[in-house]
Amino acid sequence: MPIKTYSEEFRRDAVTLYENSPGVSINALATELGVNRNTLQIWVRKYGTGARTNITNTSADSASQTLTSLADAERIRQLEREDARLREERDILRKAAKYFAEETNW
C-alpha cells in the first residue's frame, strides 16, 4: 500500500476543523478525511492549540460541508501540481520536436 503524503496546509486545516467542530470525534473526522486516526491525533498534538470550541449550534450539515470543502481544496492543489508538470512536459516535447524538425534539411 503506497504511503500517502499530505501537505502541511492540509494537516493544519484538518486540525483546525477538528478543533472547531465540537460534535465530531477524531475517529469520525479521520474517516471523513481518509486519514488514519493515529495520524490525525499526531497532527492535533503537533499543530493544535489544545482548545476546542464549545459551540452547540454546529450542525452535522455544516461539518460535512467543511469536510467536503477541505477535501476539495486538497484535490485542487493536487490537480494544479499535476497541471504544472504536464505543461512542463508539453513544452519540452514542443522544443524537441522543433529542434529535430530544423535538423532534417532534405
Q: How does residue 34 score in pLDDT terms, banded at 50, 70 and 90?
A: confident
> Which DSSP category does 40 fall into?
H
Q: How does residue 71 score in pLDDT terms, banded at 50, 70 and 90?
A: confident
Query: Average pLDDT of 48-66?
Result: 63
Q: What is the pLDDT of residue 7?
A: 87
Ordered domains of the chain (ranges, CATH):
8-103 (1.10.10)
pTM for this prediction: 0.50
Tell me how far the alpha carbon of residue 8 is from its chain's centroid: 9
Residues 6+ apart with CB under 8 A from 37: 26, 27, 30
